[in-house]
Amino acid sequence: MRVVGIDPAPKKGLSVFDGEDHSIPVEEAVSFISRLRAAGGVLVTWDAPLSGPPTPVLAGAAASGSAYSQRAIESFFSRAATGFKTPAGISVQGYAGCQHWTISRSLVGLPRVGIYDADAGQLPFRLASDDAKRPSRGRHIVEVHPALAIWLWCRCKREADASCFYKTDPDVLTDVWESLLRVRLMRSVLSRVRDVPPTCDDELDARVAYALGRLWLDHPESVVLLGSADAGAFLVPRVAGIVEAFQAFVR
């Protein structure tokens, strides 16, 4: 299957990586997604929220708690008790606070939030939310959080107190890229651009989104789709202890 990593932004459009870097202006985003859908046999790795309230709410049940604001997957990476709380510079905020969910709704119909949304079967891509069901054909989409993945991959390859502000500091961006290329399998997955540093954080995020999808399909021992349809699900590096910690958290 083809993998296409996409970092959407409501004003700038789409940063795309499919083995090569592409920038799609917002004015051309609809036609780009239509072409992607028509081609078939694709896994889109999307850097924005793709799920919202749990299944009962989507079916018409009353919501409770943080159903309309934050998912369990986001809460997990926001609490020190889990052992996986992200540092400053790596934001894992509740899905309702992510502005790029608007362009996601417009282009791919996700996240679905209630009974008046289109049926999942009518959407251009099928949302993947189960690690045991990796796609092998058809049109699929999976949520990724490249900044989170970068931190999980690189926290043992950089100094413990190294800055994570790669989105605002060009020097940190360069350091993060070099650290990523030391991750097992990354140089081969990103072979076409391994000698071409990303020019901005959006370009890096799209490359990492692609790498997550390619690794999930080809080397599933290295990546896991953490979570579920109701808890929210991110494709993340399969680092030691993360699956067990999340399972304990949701229990």
- Condensed to tens digits (0 to 9), the pLDDT of residues 92-129 reads 999 999 999 899 999 999 999 999 999 999 999 999 99
pLDDT at 161: 64
Mean pLDDT of 192-208: 97
pLDDT at 103: 97
- How would residue 210 be classed by pLDDT, with cut points 50, 70 and 90? very high
pLDDT tens digits along 1-47:
999 999 999 999 999 999 999 999 999 999 999 999 999 899 999 99
Residue with the two structure tokens 């939310």: 129
pLDDT at 163: 85
Nearest to 15 by CA among 43, 42, 41, 48: 48
Which residues partner with 7 through β-bridges? 15
Q: Write down the pTM of the prediction.
A: 0.96
pLDDT tens digits along 53-84:
999 999 999 999 999 999 999 999 999 999 99
Q: How many residues does the chain have?
A: 251
pLDDT at 40: 84
Written in H, E and C, the secondary structure of the chain is CEEEEEEEECCCEEEEECCCEEEECHHHHHHHHHHHHHHCCEEEEECCCCCCCCHHHHCCCCCCCCCCCCCHHHHHCCCHHHCCCCCCCCCCCCHHHCCCHHHHHHHHCCCCCCCCCCCHHHCCCEECCCCCCCCCCCEEEEEECHHHHHHHHHCCCCCCCCCCCCCCCHHHHHHHHHHHCCCCCHHHHCCCCCCCCCCCHHHHHHHHHHHHHHHHHHCCCCEEEEEECCCEEEEEECCCCHHHHHHHHHC
Burial 155-187 (b: 16+ CB within 10 A, else e): beebeeebbbbbbeeeebbebbbebbeebeebe
Residue 105: alpha-carbon gap to chain centroid: 15
Burial 84-99 (b: 16+ CB within 10 A, else e): bebeebbbbebbbebe
For the cut 80, the answer to whether the pLDDT of residue 159 exceeds it is: no
Report the relative pairing of strands 21-24 and 2-9 from DSSP bridges. unpaired
For the cut 80, the answer to whether the pLDDT of residue 160 exceeds it is: no
The mean predicted confidence, pLDDT, of the chain is 95
Report the relative pairing of strands 232-237 and 223-228 from DSSP bridges. antiparallel
Domain extents for the chain? 2-250
